[in-house]
Structures are given as C-alpha cells and as structure tokens.
C-alpha cells in the first residue's frame, strides 16, 4: 500500500507541478455526492484566508503560518498569493497562483498548474465569505484510485472554537471525511506572513 501511495503521490506532483497539495488517497472513483455553493461570488471571496485543517502532505513536511490572499488581478482574473513558513528550514516562502477561470454557477475556480494545460478545479463546498470556507478537489485515476484535496479555512488566523466546530460540522454535512485531517499550525507567525 505504501508503494501505491508513493507512486500516486509522484503522479499527482508531476501533474500539478510545483503545487504540492495536501491530499488523501482512496480506492475507487471520486465521490459523486459533493455539492458546491450554487453562486460563487469571487468579489466577496477576495481577501485573506488562513487554512486551519487539511489532509497531510505526502513526501513533504506540513508548512506552518499558511496564508492565502485572494486578489483581483488584471482583467477579470484573480490571483492567490500564498505565504507560509517551511517547517524544516524555517524560511518564509511566497508564491502566486493564477486563477484561470471562475465557474460562478458551478461553485468552482480553476488554478493554473505547471503540468496541466487545463489546470486543477477547486470547488468551494461551503462559505459565508466572512468567517469560513471549505474547499475540495479530486483527481480520479481510471476510477480505481482517487486523490482528494480538502482545506478548511477561516478569515481569522485564530478563530474561536465555535467557528472551528461549526465549520467541521458543515464539512461533515458536505461529505468530507475528516478522520485523517491535521491542523495547520498558525502560532508564532511573523506579521507579514
């Protein structure tokens, strides 16, 4: 099983390029019961988000102090400016990812990747735009194995326990398996990260 996970992780990293994502590998096709928000409003989605819970990264240590800043770019494009601290080196890392397109009615946006001309679809399963967001993506390999990306984010770096509990409940209602999710450390972060 470990060899399969490593093999699949390598395939995922090659397909997404430098965008190593925290993922969960499972048998079978991608879940069909996932429902995204019916009207994704990117104007409201713009701003800073702090990832709180996600699946572990394969082959890499989980970074800390992760922050996404969704901004409006030129034209009708959006950009995600990500910053984090590498857990091993302690160095601040920054990168920008272009959002290629937004499917408002489908509740998703597509990020640019180095290896895929079509990008990677990120579905916003639930958000209130002011407090939390639950993101989901899935890649299916021939219906035999699926690789799921999920991240639970909040607008506050240190949300209340009520916000986390409510968001976890909403994630469960959205069909997210949270058993193997891990917290992203947000303690001791520099102001500019």
136-167 residue pLDDT tens: 999 888 888 888 899 999 999 999 999 999 99
Question: Up-side HSE of residue 65: CA atoms within 13 Å toward CB?
Answer: 17
Nearest-angstrom CA–CA distance, 102 and 133: 16
Residue/partner pairs of 106-112 with CB below 8 Å, 24 or more apart = 106/36, 106/40, 107/35, 107/36, 107/37, 107/38, 107/39, 107/40, 108/36, 108/40, 109/40, 109/42, 109/78, 111/19, 111/80
Instruction: Find, among 176, 127, 191, 120, the residue nearest to 153 by Cα.
Output: 127
pTM for the full predicted model: 0.86
26-59 residue pLDDT tens: 888 888 878 899 899 999 999 999 999 998 876 5
What kind of fold does domain 31-139+149-183 have according to CATH? Lipocalin (2.40.128)
- Judge whether 184 and 51 are in contact, CB under 8 Å: yes
pLDDT band at 18 (very low <50, low <70, confident <90, very high): very low
How is 93-127 classified by DSSP, letter by letter? EEEEEEEEEEETTTTEEEE--SS-TT-EEEEEEEE
Give the residue with greater pLDDT, 173 vs 34.
173
Which residue(s) pair with 137 in the sheet?
149
């Amino acid at each position: 099983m470990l060899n399969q996970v490593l093999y699949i992780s390598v395939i995922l990293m090659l397909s997404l390029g430098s965008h190593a994502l925290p993922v969960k590998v499972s048998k079978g096709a991608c879940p069909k019961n996932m429902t995204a928000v019916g009207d994704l409003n990117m104007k409201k989605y713009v701003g800073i988000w702090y990832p709180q819970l996600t699946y572990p990264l394969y082959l890499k240590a989980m970074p800390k102090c992760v922050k996404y800043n969704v901004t409006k770019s030129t034209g009708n494009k959006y950009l995600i400016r990500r910053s984090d601290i590498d857990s091993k080196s302690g160095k601040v890392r920054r990168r920008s990812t272009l959002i290629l397109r937004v499917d408002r009615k489908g509740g998703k946006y597509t990020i640019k990747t180095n290896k895929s001309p079509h990008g990677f679809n990120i579905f916003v399963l639930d958000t209130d735009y002011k407090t939390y967001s639950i993101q989901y993506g899935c890649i299916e390999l021939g219906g035999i194995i699926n690789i799921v990306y999920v991240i639970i984010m909040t607008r506050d770096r240190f949300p209340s326990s009520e916000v986390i509990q409510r968001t976890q409940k909403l994630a469960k209602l959205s069909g997210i398996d949270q058993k193997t999710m891990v917290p992203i450390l947000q303690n001791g972060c520099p102001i500019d990260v």
